[in-house]
Amino acid sequence: MAPIKTVFTALDRVAMNGDDEIPLVDGLSLVRPNDRLASGCWLHTVSKMDEADIKAASRFLICCYEEADDKGSWNAVQKRAYNLLRSGLMAFQVTKPIRTFGYMHHGSSGDDFGFESSQYVPTHIYYRPQMRPGRWARVNEFDDAMLAQMPVMITRVRAALAGPNVPYANALTFLQLGLESEQPYIAGLLWVTGLEAIFDSRGKDKFKKKLCDCQLSGTGASFKEHLLREFDQLIQKRG
């Protein structure tokens, strides 16, 4: 039997309840952090503070795949798994931005070194910057209704990233880079650039109109109407 390879990353405040493992699509699932996946030495790769945060995360987003028999196609199989994990990660961010911890953990269950098939063996850790959501996203929970959308959303995001529509792929990449940026002005510039990749407005007035006319999923309102509601609520709270 070919070794089962895994790649996973930690997510914060997602699927706080529910089963220990929640299947999503094509070998991608959400699992609770456990001793098996958190085993191995992370010394010199992950700081003690980051390690504690990762092990305390609400879920690991994990992709499992079989190692290819043909060593020549191994890189293609690994790349497919990484792209699926990224598609899953960005599907969460499109639905509602969440905090991620940046590290991509790679490992194997049973391999050529004689480990038992049930034993998970960490191999390496790849680092990307953390994604940090804004204030609105932090105060709103990633609820069960959002979680139920994920299989379809992952499929859509995966198609956009791998498909021929370059503006859609660019918009998702700019969203990711903005969430990874620690500078709010740079993040805002990246997000506006991503929106413009789709709007193709070529001018601030048309951009403003297209943005205001956007329908917000699940609200039945345009972006402009939603902002006006938020503003009215804020005025009422301040009395």
Phi first, then psi, for residue 29 (nearest 5°) are -150, 165
> What's CA 116's distance to the chain center, in Å?
31
Q: What is the pLDDT of residue 160?
A: 94
Tell me: the pLDDT tens digits for 180-238? 999 999 999 999 999 999 889 888 899 888 888 887 666 666 666 766 776 677 667 66
Q: Pick the residue with more confidence: 124 or 182?
A: 182
Tell me: the pLDDT tens digits for 32-66? 988 777 766 565 677 778 888 888 889 999 998 87
Kindly give, in sequence order, each residue whose CB lies less than 8 Å from that of residue 29, ignoring residues fewer than 6 positions away: 21, 22, 23, 61, 62, 64
Closest by alpha carbon to 18, among 130, 155, 156, 150? Answer: 150
Q: What's the mean pLDDT in 97-121?
A: 70
Could you tell me if 115 and 121 are in contact, meaning their C-beta atoms sit under 8 angstroms apart? yes
d(CA 44, CA 155): 36
Could you tell me if 114 and 121 are in contact, meaning their C-beta atoms sit under 8 angstroms apart? no
d(CA 45, CA 48): 10
- When pLDDT is cut at 50, 70 and 90, the band that residue 114 belongs to is very low
Q: Which of 102-111, 129-138, 209-218, 228-237 has the lowest mean pLDDT?
A: 228-237
Residue carrying the six token digits 């790679």 = 106
d(CA 69, CA 106): 19
Q: To the nearest whole percent, how much of the chain has pLDDT over 70?
A: 79
Q: Which of 22-36, 101-115, 142-156, 202-216 has the lowest mean pLDDT?
A: 101-115
